[in-house]
Amino acid sequence: MANHEQAVERLKTGWTPTEEVILKRRSVRMYKKEQVPEFMVKRILEAGRFAPSAGNGQPWKFVVLREPEIIQGVTETTIQICKIFKSLIDYRIPGKRWRLPIAKLNILFKPADLHPMPFGAVTLIADRKLGLYHGAPTVIMIFKDVRGISNPDLDCGIAGQNMVLTAHSMGLGTCWVSFAKLAFQYTGKWKKRLGIQYPYKFTTSLAIGWPVGEPDAMISRPTHEVDWYENGIKTVVH
Ligand X SMILES: Cc1cc2nc3c(=O)[nH]c(=O)nc-3n(C[C@H](O)[C@H](O)[C@H](O)COP(=O)(O)O)c2cc1C
Residues that bind ligand X (CB under 6 A): 26-27, 29, 175-179, 204
Choose among 146, 107, 130: nearest CA to 178: 130
Cα–Cα dist 82/179, whole Å: 9
Report the residue number, 80 or 91, with the smaller CB distance to ligand X: 80
Closest CB to ligand X among 176 and 210? Answer: 176
Q: Is 64 helix (H, G, I), strand (E, B) or coil?
A: strand
Of all residues in the chain, what percent are helix, strand and coil, respectively (each to 5)?
45, 15, 40
**Minimum Å distance from CB 109 to ligand X?**
21
Min separation Cβ 175 and ligand X, Å? 5
State the virtual CA torsion across 164, 182, 108, 105 in degrees, nearest 10: 150
Handedness of CA 194, 70, 45, 51 (dihedral sign): negative
Q: Are 136 and 27 within 8 A, CB to CB?
A: no
CB of 161 to ligand X, least distance (A): 8
CB of 115 to ligand X, least distance (A): 13
Minimum gap (Å) between residue 142 Cβ and ligand X = 10
Strands (E), the chain: 60-65, 138-145, 173-176, 200-209, 226-230, 233-237
Q: Give whichever of 47 and 91 is closer to ligand X, judged by the CB atom.
A: 47
Nearest distance in Å: CB 27, ligand X: 3
DSSP 3-state of 203: strand
Q: Please give the C-alpha separations between residue 24 and each of 71, 83, 89, 152, 157, in angstroms, as whole numbers.
A: 27, 34, 38, 27, 19
The residues with which 62 forms a beta bridge, in sequence order, are: 142
Least Cβ distance, residue 15 to ligand X (angstroms): 17
CB-nearer residue toward ligand X: 91 or 124: 124
For ligand X, the closer CB: 57 or 135: 135
- CB nearer ligand X, residue 134 or residue 145: 134
Closer residue to ligand X, CB minimum distance, 36 or 82: 82
